[in-house]
Structure 1
Amino acid sequence: MNKTFKIYAILFAIVLAVLALLEFSKNEVTDWRKNFEVDKKSPFGLYIFNQEAGNLFKNKLKKTEESPYYYYEEGKKYAPHNILVILREFDTYSWNRILQQVSEGSDAMVIAERFPRHLSDTLKFQTSMVSFDEQQKLKFTDKKFVNDSLNLDKLPSGNGFIYTQEENQILGKLIDKEKIPQPNFLKVKHGKGHIYLHSEPLFLTNYYLLKRGNEKYLENVFSYFPEREIVWFTENSSVTTSRSPLRVILANDALRYSWWLLLAGLLLFVVFNAKRKQRIVPVIEPLKNKSAEFVKSVGNLYLQEGDFHDMMAKKAQYFLNKVRMELMIETQILDETFAKKLHVKTGTSLEKINEAISLIKKAQDPYAPVMKEDLIRMNKILDEILK
């Protein structure tokens, strides 16, 4: 074990010790998130409801971890029964299976803060935020339940029904400090059965069920169900139980943080250790640009040959091509019109342009005598025109 590894191990042990001390000394914080999970004992979990549901429904409750699409086999007839859906997000096919069962005589109760668009379009209703008050009350419209209201004093959603058909029966309302009742519990007829819609799931949570008297509201809500088998599509049915060997570690916050810290420490050790032992990367010189050397060699070749006429012809051809492409001037006839156009677009004097035309014509004539001085003069003038 080398010295570097010992240093890393000591630092890692110190960090673990500090984290352990912080973990043991910290105060437990209440989780006020609205998780609505059947196995959560936090204020807004459904642990108590899940434990008491069997007694509430007189042992006629059947929980399933399947979606309605797979639970109800296509073409199979089912005896009329009750269906319970609490804050589940199903696909359209699953909702169609539920609606089919209701139309054949079953009853369904859907409890959610927001309802899927497919369900609201089919049953002709709309929901929205109807109250922003922190203190709200849930009451029934039936006179026999008039004393069994429920006070919401912690994070009410304030959702209600802003539109519903006249034939739909309003079973409950939400009342805020303005004392303006808004429907939040509906009974909708669908085929041979009924669908009950409740827009405030907080009455099912641990926080409210632990308050004395609130259980009466819950019992009254479900009293609208006929006494028969109830199929509850539980909230965690869409989550497959983890089979990972690390499920115990990942389920506990302290163990999970320690696990991730361990992995991060190992990763840092590998990175720094590999960096120290990496071989030297050889320096590769980039390829040099030898274009200038090539041009110089070609130029020297022409000078050695002494073919000034050919060099003038190539220079003239290059010049005329640039005039055509950049200045958009026709170069087929080098006359007075061409000279004026070139004069206008370049600003070069007509005298210099005419001299350039004369040298270009001389370069284009294969029998014209050409001197070195002609090439130099022509090159200078053409470069000045196109500068």
Structure 2
Amino acid sequence: MRTAIVIIISLLLVLMISLLFIGGSAVQPQMKDRLSRRQATYSSRDKQPLGSYVPFRVLEHFFHDTKPRTVTRPFAYSYRNDANLKKHGNVYFIVAGDLYTTEQDVLAMRNFVSAGNRLFVAVEQTDSLFESAFRFSIRRPGRFFYDDSRKEAAQSFVNSEFAPDTAFTSQGLQMVNYLDRTQPANTTILGNNASHEPNFFRIRVGKGYLFVLLNPMAWTNYFLLKDDNIKALETQLAYLPEYPDRIYWDEYYKGLQGPQRGDFSNWQVLLKHPALRWALWLAVLLLLLYVLFEGKRRQRLIPPKPVLANASLDFAETLGRLYYLHHNNSNLAQKMAQHLLEHIRNRYYLNTSQLNDEFVTALSRKSGHPHDEIKALVAQTHYLREAGSVADHELQHYYNSIYQFYLKAS
């Protein structure tokens, strides 16, 4: 057992040192490339530059304290198990780098929007399944990287309330994908990228709308905390209902690194996050070590030693039952008195030849019994030794007196 504990502690120390070494070696590349797509989490709990803590908090106040519900499952799973998603008046936000869906996902999304809901997708790139389901196409000229030497327009909007050259700018990731201009009549252009190509648009589907923003950079802490860029977020949210019934915020698709394979399971949630994946494998390793070292044969358990019984009390009970069956009360009383006096001689070292007041006082002091009870027991013993016949009730009373003496004797 001690060997197993030492091995487990050693493995934990090695693992911690390895993680510290890996984390320390990763600092230099991050300092060199301060903003990269690897750092973009778009998570509502991430307060780093490319997290989405700020927009998530803005949603709570913009929609009059209607707090978003965080979703960690695929859209198809949530749509199948949440009856509220089948109703109208909902708003569902998906903010991610790349959007990877399944056929079940896009079918559920289309049914969700057609019922009179709003699906807001802020991603750099959509997959072919999503584009086919909502009948639009994206042009992908390529991805540019972080440039710290210049400040370009990151997002502008087609809105009559803004001047034609109004744009919200920020140094950061340049996202240049845009909508193909040959789109159906139900598509409305709402905003452009730095190259004046449409990257924010709305598609009417049934009774609802799909909003697509090909610039998730506009939903990061880094972008929104620059100058007055928070107005860019307010402009986008202005196209949504002011009082939605329910708001949903996705935390599932932003963690996918590629197309989904097979049906969704709870293990995918654990394995897609590096920290949870490390914790899972470490738990499996510790379980195997426990089975390996604790599975050995152990020494047989030693049974507990029984408590010693009062032999005198047992002997008196056994002898009493024997004589009581023959109904020889006088002889039984003689045996009980004889055994009692022998017990007093062996236990308290008293002379039992004369059962007088001095004997009563000495026995009371040594046994711890009250003087009156000892006096009564001695008188009863003297009487039964001299009696020619003993009644049943006298024998029973004498037996009870001796039993209490044995039971309470110190």
| TM-score, normalised with respect to structure 2 | 0.49
> 2:172 — aligned with what?
154
Q: Does 1:68 align with 2:82?
A: no
Residues 171, 186 of structure 1: 8 Å contact kept: yes
Structure 1 residue runs of 5 or longer lacking an equivalent are 1-12, 267-387
Letter in 2 for 1:60: T
- Give the counterpart of 1:117 among 128, 145, 170: 128
Establish whether residue 170 from structure 1 lines up as the match of residue 152 from structure 2.
no
Residue 231 of structure 1 pairs with residue 240 of structure 2:
no
- Whether contact under 8 Å (1:129, 1:157) holds in the other structure is no
- Cross-structure match for 2:42: 36
Deviation of the 1:163 alpha carbon: 4.0
Is the contact between residue 76 and residue 104 of structure 2 (CA under 8 Å) also seen in structure 1?
yes
- Describe the SS at the equivalent of 2:178: strand
1:221 corresponding residue in structure 2:
236
How far did residue 164 of structure 1 move? 4.1
| SS of residue matched to 2:43 | coil
Distance 1:206 1:60, change over 3 A: same
- 1:289 maps to none
**Helix, strand or coil: the match of 1:108?**
strand
The answer to whether residue 253 in structure 2 is matched with residue 209 in structure 1 is no
Secondary structure (helix, strand or coil) at the match of 1:114 reads strand
Q: How far 1:108 moved relative to its partner?
A: 1.5
Task: Note closer, same or farther for the CA distance 1:202–1:22 as it changes in structure 2 (3 Å cut).
Answer: closer
The answer to whether the 8 Å contact 1:145/1:220 transfers is no
Change (3 A) 1:158 1:69: same
Alignment of 1:284-299 (within 5 A): none
> What is the aligned partner in structure 2 of residue 336 from structure 1?
none
Match of 2:108 among 71, 89, 97: 97
Aligned residue among 50, 55, 71 for 2:61: 55
Residue by residue over 1:276-319, the C-alpha shift from the partner in whole angstroms, topping out at 9 and shown as x without a partner, is: xxxxxxxxxxxxxxxxxxxxxxxxxxxxxxxxxxxxxxxxxxxx
Structure-2 separation of matches of 1:22 and 1:108: 39
* Counterpart selection for 1:129 from 125, 140, 143: 140
Identity among equivalent pairs (%) = 21
Assess if the C-alpha contact under 8 Å between 1:148 and 1:216 holds in 2. no
1:120 and 1:94 mapped to 2: Cα distance?
Answer: 12
Distance verdict in 2 for CA 1:145–1:60, change over 3 Å: farther
- TM-score normalised to the size of structure 1? 0.51
Of 121, 127, 138, which aligns to 2:155?
A: 138
Alignment CA distance shift 1:162-1:79 (3 Å): closer
Question: Are residues 215 and 114 of structure 1, via their aligned partners in 2, closer, same or farther at CA, if it must alter by over 3 Å?
Answer: same
CA contact (8 A) 1:184 1:199 kept: yes
1:133-192 CA deviation, whole Å, 9 max, x = no partner?
A: 65343111112133752114212121111244141110001133xxxx200011111112
Cα 1:27–1:83 shift into 2, 3 Å? closer
Helix, strand or coil at the partner of 1:172: strand
Does the Cα contact within 8 Å between 1:67 and 1:238 map onto a contact in 2?
no
Structure 2: runs of 5 or more not aligned: 1-12, 256-265, 290-410
- Residues paired across the two proteins, number: 244
CA positional deviation for 1:121: 1.3
2 CA distance for matches of 1:20 and 1:120? 42
Q: How does 1:172-187 map to 2 (within 5 A)?
A: 172-176=191-195, 181-187=196-202
The answer to whether the Cα contact below 8 Å between 2:43 and 2:254 also exists between their aligned partners in 1 is no
Could you say if the C-alpha distance between residues 150 and 97 of structure 1 is closer, same or farther in structure 2, counting changes exceeding 3 Å?
A: same
Give 1:331-350 correspondences, 5 Å limit: none
Matches for 1:213-292 after TM superposition, within 5 Å: 213-227=228-242, 228-236=244-252
1:6-27 Cα deviation digits (max 9, x unpaired): xxxxxxx99x999989999997
Q: Please state whether the residue corresponding to 1:154 is helix, strand or coil.
A: coil
Q: Secondary structure at 2:110's aligned position in 1?
A: helix
The CA RMSD over aligned residues, in Å, is: 4.5
